A = this chain, B = another copy of it.
Amino acid sequence: MSVKANVIDISQRSGISTAPLDGSEKVYVRGSRDDIRVPFREIKLTDTPNRTPGLPGTPNAPVLVYDTSGIYTDPLVEIDIEKGLPAIRADWITDRNDTEQLSAFSSQFTRDQDEKAFDIPLFSHRRLPRRAKPGKNVTQMHYARRGIITPEMEYIAIRESMGRAAMHDAGTLPDGNASHITAEYVRQEVAEGRAIIPANINHPEAEPMIIGRNFLVKINANIGNSATTSSIEEEVEKMVWSTRWGGDTVMDLSTGKHIHQTREWIIRNSPVPIGTVPLYQALEKVKGVAEDLSWEVFRDTLIEQAEQGVSYFTIHAGVRLAHIPLSVDRITGIVSRGGSIMAAWCLAHHQESFLYTHFEEICEIMKAYDVSFSLGDGLRPGCQADANDAAQFAELRTLGELTEIAWRHDVQVMVEGPGHVPMHKIKENMDLQLDVCKEAPFYTLGPLVTDIAPGYDHITSGIGAAMIGWFGTAMLCYVTPKEHLGLPNKDDVKTGIITYKIAAHAADLAKGHPGAQVRDDAISKARFEFRWEDQFNLGLDPDTARAFHDETLPQPKAKEAHFCSMCGPKFCSMKISHDVKQAFDEKSAEFKAAGSKIYQEV
């Protein structure tokens, strides 16, 4: 049986990457109702060859892995970005009977946009937005605290249980209760604020996922349109490409033209939650003049984006007027865009930040759509010297206060973290965050453990990301090789994502998550048994692994060879090690046959 039976050629449907990864097949695990169908990537493995030529080998069970790529990698589904993805959560949302579809968009900006003509294609299957009925709170945290297990929670329980690289035995598919990750456990974690489910009711296309330190560590990829006008297809492809390689969420950080229209295309086609920094668009609306920002412009932007379906907002409400003096003697000042914008506003008006003073009103908006907070770290350090300083930690304490305010509204919260931090100062960040933010999930950018490697900051930050993930960070925001230097291209995005999948998985291993090591064990067994194709396919990036192997040994036969180009047959430790094992087994048999005398006589 060929491992490629269900795999179509790698191809691009109208510029969008589809087709499964090599050796993989999309499978779905059903929950308690028909419309809970949780996707996984099943990696099929070849048999372990029999040492006696001619005899049949021993089958290796396929490995199931968590799959963020949506239906783009399901060859049985036709993709049409003009229509967007199916709204898999639509019934769950309407069944709750606590939301209503509006007859018009609530945001003035959105309504104004609808009057205009654009030189880009518009998404034509746009839905009218939903909002909580008056007096209702529609956050997953609100349900969780009232003891309600939502379909989203059940979906996540299945996804997390099986997605821990569990070996897939076709006969005994767990039903979501096969590990300690039950739907009830998910509910409890969300109720306690230790985890969030970013799931705006206006993004029913998204496949539910959870961010919390007792679940698999997640990664975020940033995308955004650039000055050079790229086509809508390119923008959608950036998102698809990011999720193809493992992005769990995508932040759309666009700052250019047509932000609103581009975002519509992205959200309608995204299988993962989309996050934004609404301040960026608000600043565009006031033509880039920070002091012209106002609560009114910002408020309308929140509503505009909430009604499109953004699932989490970075809000830099922790940059208070009193914190700014703490940052002025730093080597790199304020390196967060949002942070510097708010600092400029505070100083220009000599007033407390409107994000801070209007925080409860923001909560009211969030809970009407179930948008989660990602409390921004506007004062994060931009270099080793500024790490863990007074400005950073003063802001973190404010974020802790804001977390508790949001929780009083049952609004979900995660908290953003640094940045640039040397290894010995990383744990202090995590410990303080857990303490002052009462275990709300931490979401960090790296941190970079040195500043001296521009061009390699996916690596400097991947080191810090793995460590802080182990210490308890729930989601890691990726960094690409172009960080500090320029805009990432498609290869850079992939490199950033794979690096962060490494960091996240290394953290899962170090935390001892049940099942996390199954994939490592499977690939190691394949390696020891010279099952080259399995080794490639079990890797995070089968294409690159295969290409690297073929660079030295391109012949098809080399993929059946019991050695590789590194050492050649004579020096292959794996090959010799097999011989050693066999010799040992024979000695053991002799030993037993001889009456089990002391094996080693000296």
Asked whether A455 lies within 8 Å of B602 as measured between CB atoms, the reply is no
Q: Which of B327, B454, B544 contacts A536 (CB 8 A)?
A: B454
- Nearest CB in chain B to that of A575: its residue: B340
Across the interface, which residues of B come within 8 angstroms of A456, CB to CB?
498-499, 502, 540-541, 544
Interface string of A584-602 (1 = CB under 8 A from B): 1101100000000001101
Across the interface, which residues of B come within 8 angstroms of A10, CB to CB?
none
Does A487 sit within 8 A of B, measured CB to CB?
Answer: yes
Asked whether B571 lies within 8 Å of A283 as measured between CB atoms, the reply is yes
The CA of A565 and the CA of B226, in the complex, are separated in Å by: 9
Does A402 sit within 8 A of B, measured CB to CB?
Answer: no
- Nearest CB in chain B to that of A565: its residue: B486
Interface string of A517-537 (1 = CB under 8 A from B): 101110111011000000110
Q: Jot down 25 A-B pairs with beta carbons below 8 A, ordered by A.
A: A288-B571, A290-B576, A325-B584, A327-B577, A332-B527, A332-B528, A332-B574, A334-B580, A335-B574, A336-B573, A340-B577, A344-B583, A348-B583, A383-B527, A385-B517, A423-B506, A424-B511, A451-B523, A452-B540, A453-B541, A455-B545, A456-B499, A456-B541, A463-B502, A486-B553
Does A581 sit within 8 A of B, measured CB to CB?
Answer: yes
Total copies of this chain within the assembly = 2
**Which of A26-34, A179-187, A477-485 forms contacts with chain B?**
A477-485
Does A333 sit within 8 A of B, measured CB to CB?
Answer: yes
Across the interface, which residues of B come within 8 angstroms of A333, CB to CB?
528, 574, 577-578, 580-581
Q: Which of B334, B385, B523 contacts A573 (CB 8 A)?
A: B334
Interface string of A329-350 (1 = CB under 8 A from B): 0011111110111011001101
Asked whether A449 lies within 8 Å of B510 as measured between CB atoms, the reply is yes
Across the interface, which residues of B come within 8 angstroms of A481, CB to CB?
548
Q: Which of B383, B454, B539 contacts A455 (CB 8 A)?
A: B539
Known pairs A466-B423, A568-B227; A524 contacts B453 (CB<8 A): no
Across the interface, which residues of B come within 8 angstroms of A283, CB to CB?
570-571
Across the interface, which residues of B come within 8 angstroms of A334, CB to CB?
573, 576-577, 580
Q: Which of B280, B458, B460, B482 contacts A506 (CB 8 A)?
A: B460
Across the interface, which residues of B come within 8 angstroms of A588, CB to CB?
325
Q: Which of B255, B452, B501 contacts A505 (CB 8 A)?
A: B452
Asked whether A503 lies within 8 Å of B578 as measured between CB atoms, the reply is no
Asked whether B484 lies within 8 Å of A385 as measured between CB atoms, the reply is no
Q: State how many angstroms separate the Cβ of A541 from the closest Cβ of chain B.
A: 6
- Nearest CB in chain B to that of A540: its residue: B453
Q: State how many angstroms separate the Cβ of A391 from the closest Cβ of chain B.
A: 12
Which of A336, A453, A460, A484 has the largest count of B CB atoms less than 10 A from its CB? A453
- Nearest CB in chain B to that of A386: its residue: B524
Asked whether A544 lies within 8 Å of B455 as measured between CB atoms, the reply is yes
Q: State how many angstroms separate the Cβ of A479 from the closest Cβ of chain B.
A: 12
Q: State how many angstroms separate the Cβ of A205 from the closest Cβ of chain B.
A: 29
Which of A341, A502, A525, A588 has the largest count of B CB atoms less than 10 A from its CB? A502
Does A400 sit within 8 A of B, measured CB to CB?
Answer: no
Does A384 sit within 8 A of B, measured CB to CB?
Answer: yes
Interface string of A484-498 (1 = CB under 8 A from B): 111101000000001
The CA of A520 and the CA of B381, in the complex, are separated in Å by: 13
| Total contacting residues, chain A, CB less than 8 A | 120
Q: Say what secondary structure dominates the interface of chain A.
A: helix
Across the interface, which residues of B come within 8 angstroms of A535, CB to CB?
454, 484
A-B contacts besides A226-B565, A344-B580, A463-B503, 8 pairs, CB < 8 Å: A255-B568, A327-B580, A332-B525, A383-B527, A453-B539, A482-B548, A485-B552, A486-B564
The CA of A386 and the CA of B574, in the complex, are separated in Å by: 14
Does A475 sit within 8 A of B, measured CB to CB?
Answer: no
Does A459 sit within 8 A of B, measured CB to CB?
Answer: yes
The CA of A509 and the CA of B464, in the complex, are separated in Å by: 13
Asked whether A485 lies within 8 Å of B584 as measured between CB atoms, the reply is no
Asked whether A423 lies within 8 Å of B581 as measured between CB atoms, the reply is no
Asked whether A384 lies within 8 Å of B524 as measured between CB atoms, the reply is yes
Q: State how many angstroms separate the Cβ of A218 from the closest Cβ of chain B.
A: 16
Which of A255, A498, A580, A599 has the largest count of B CB atoms less than 10 A from its CB? A580
The CA of A334 and the CA of B538, in the complex, are separated in Å by: 22
Across the interface, which residues of B come within 8 angstroms of A538, CB to CB?
452
Asked whether A470 lies within 8 Å of B424 as measured between CB atoms, the reply is yes
Does A321 sit within 8 A of B, measured CB to CB?
Answer: yes
- Nearest CB in chain B to that of A580: its residue: B343
Asked whether A383 lies within 8 Å of B573 as measured between CB atoms, the reply is no
Across the interface, which residues of B come within 8 angstroms of A454, CB to CB?
523, 535-536, 539, 545, 548
The CA of A122 and the CA of B63, in the complex, are separated in Å by: 54
Asked whether A449 lies within 8 Å of B348 as measured between CB atoms, the reply is no
Does A579 sit within 8 A of B, measured CB to CB?
Answer: yes
The CA of A535 and the CA of B385, in the complex, are separated in Å by: 16
Does A190 sit within 8 A of B, measured CB to CB?
Answer: no
